[in-house]
Amino acid sequence: MCNKFQPPAPAPETPHYRGRFAPSPTGALHFGSLIAALASCLDARAHGGEWLVRMEDVDAERNVPGAADEILRTLEAFGFAWDGEVLWQSTRDDAYAAALAELVAAGLAYPCACSRKEIAARTTRPAIDGGLIYPGTCRNGLAPGAAARAWRLRVDQAPLAFVDRLQGEVAQQLEDAVGDFVLRRADGLFAYQLAVVVDDHFQGITDVVRGADLLASTPRQVWLQRCLGYPTPRYAHLPVATNAAGEKWSKQTLAPALECGKAAAELVRALAFLGQPVPFELGRATVAEVWNWAFAHWSFAAVPRQAAISAPAAP
């Protein structure tokens, strides 16, 4: 935990705000990561709340050796101070297994024997996240001689709606949007949707501030929360930064890694992206001065209500 730049303590609200930043160690942090980290941290501090860091390393096949340590070093160099210890999803398999067992016992989750090739042979309907909608082949039991490959959660056709603090009302019919979705994969790894829901509940997260690229998956998480009897956090999905081609800045689109030597300038750039009225002189400030200004002037109301915005030029 780094304690470099802590904000003045405003009067706490009830219930106590708990936010988080949850990167995946699949590469270095980039400008899009910084936007999510900065907005989630400032929103937590503005509410007198806690801000946690969780390393979402549950997908072991995609993890890059050394990336997690580099992410934490970068956050420290950029002046972030988090509360408590970092939670590592790779240590949480027992908790995910217990949640899956609870869903199975309640008749809400079931084994699935379908391969991707078999699913593609039975449906061509695209899912909202780019895959294919599961056609429900194993919903009523495995075919004779079939062996379970994965575990899925049952969904229904009832519209699921929630109000996002930035994007407004979001409604989705899960059966038409994704179908019964995977909780444990064929390779034995637990799926992101289950892990993030179990961990948000375990950590007492009240508010999730993250990129709008995750907006489409949020109804699945709300459904899971309801199935497990968990409270639903408040959500705020920030505009994602896009490159000149209109693609979201990400590791897949070769977003450049954050440079610790340019931390102050990158923080100012991120504040401007988030609609904050940064003064010209802040461009010459130190990291500590940028944080002091941000703590004093953060305005959630100024954050653009868009799903994507072109990233400003790098310093």
Q: Which of 297, 315, 258 is nearest to 77 (CA)?
A: 258
Asked if residue 189 lies in contact with residue 61, where contact means CB atoms within 8 angstroms, the answer is: yes
Active site residue 251: yes
Strand partners, 242: 248, 310
Task: Identify the active-site residue in 4, 117, 251, 262.
Answer: 251
Q: Which of 192, 183, 205, 206 is nearest to 98 (CA)?
A: 183
Strand partners, 150: 112
3-state class of 24 per DSSP? coil
3-state class of 150 per DSSP? strand
Q: Please give the Cα distance from 193 to 214 (Å, whole number).
A: 11
- Count CA atoms closer than 13 A to 272's CA, side-chain side: 18
What the block records as the tokens of 11 is 């009067």
Q: Please give the Cα distance from 193 to 224 (Å, whole number).
A: 8
Helix spans in 108-165 (H) = 116-122
Q: Please give the Cα distance from 75 to 65 (Å, whole number).
A: 18
Site of tokens 């949480």 = 92
Distances (CA, A) of 34 to 24, 97, 138: 13, 32, 41
CA angle 307, 309, 315 (to 5 degrees): 145
Catalytic positions, written as ranges = 251
